[in-house]
Chain A
Amino acid sequence: DTGVSQDPRHKITKRGQNVTFRCDPISEHNRLYWYRQTLGQGPEFLTYFQNEAQLEKSRLLSDRFSAERPKGSFSTLEIQRTEQGDSAMYLCATPIGDGMFFGSGTQLSVL
Chain B
Amino acid sequence: QKEVEQNSGPLSVPEGAIASLNCTYSDRGSQSFFWYRQYSGKSPELIMSIYSNGDKEDGRFTAQLNKASQYVSLLIRDSQPSDSATYLCAVVPASGGSYIPTFGRGTSLIVHP
Contacts and interface: CB of A to CB of B under 8 A. Distances in A.
B98 A102 contact: no
Contacts of B45: 102
B100 A99 contact: no
Contact of B100 (A40, A41, A45): A45
Interface string A38-49: 001111110010
Interface in A31-62: 31, 33, 35, 40-45, 48, 55-56
B46 A96 contact: yes
A100 interface: yes
A98 to B, nearest CB: 5
Chain A interface size band reads 20 to 34
The interface size bin for chain B is 20 to 34
Interface in B66-113: 88, 90, 92, 96, 98-106
A31 B103 contact: no
Nearest to B98: A56
Given A98-B32, A98-B49, A102-B43, A43 B100 contact: no
A105 interface: yes
Contacts of A101: 46
B44 interface: yes
A102 B44 contact: yes
Contacts of B51: 98
A56 B44 CA distance: 22
Given A40-B8, A91-B43, A100 B105 contact: no
A43 B49 CA distance: 17
Interface string A57-79: 00000000000000000000000
A99 B43 contact: no
Nearest to A95: B99
Contact of A42 (B92, B100, B105): B105
Interface of A: 31, 33, 35, 40-45, 48, 55-56, 89, 91, 96-105
**The 9 residue pairs across chains A and B that have the minimum distance between CB atoms:** A42-B103, A99-B46, A102-B43, A43-B103, A42-B105, A105-B43, A56-B98, A41-B105, A42-B88
